């Protein structure tokens, strides 16, 4: 398995960018120098993340999201041999 995260990943099972095996590995996201834990979707090549806007839901029951643009770093949290 590769240690490079995909260019785009989503937590929504209805999205075509959803991949359960990658999500189980744990993906860390750093946005503008701060580690974020509330990211719903990200895209490295376009430089944006989507975060949930509170507890608000749309009419289909999905959380409302805000798109934030800026520098992004992404990594897998379960990389073997990593020491902190």
Model confidence at 31, pLDDT cuts 50, 70, 90, reads very high
On whether the pTM is more than 0.75, the answer is yes
User: Do the domain assignments include residue 81?
Assistant: no
Contact 12, 61 (CB under 8 A): no
User: Do the domain assignments include residue 80?
Assistant: no
Model confidence at 80, pLDDT cuts 50, 70, 90, reads low
Counting the structural domains of the chain, the total is 1
Model confidence at 67, pLDDT cuts 50, 70, 90, reads very high
* DSSP alpha helix (H) spans, 7-68: 20-25
How large is the average pLDDT for residues 31-46?
Answer: 96
Q: What is the pLDDT of residue 57?
A: 92
Q: Which domain holds residue 70?
A: 8-75
Residue bearing the bigger pLDDT, 16 or 3: 16
User: Do the domain assignments include residue 44?
Assistant: yes
């Amino acid at each position: 398995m590769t240690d490079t995260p995909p260019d785009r990943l989503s937590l929504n099972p209805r999205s075509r960018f959803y991949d359960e095996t990658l999500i189980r590995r744990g993906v860390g996201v750093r946005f503008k120098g701060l580690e974020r834990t509330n990211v719903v979707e990200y895209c490295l090549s376009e430089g944006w993340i989507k975060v949930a806007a509170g507890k608000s839901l749309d009419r289909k029951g999905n959380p409302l999201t805000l798109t934030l643009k800026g520098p992004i770093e992404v990594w897998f949290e379960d990389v073997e041999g990593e020491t902190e």
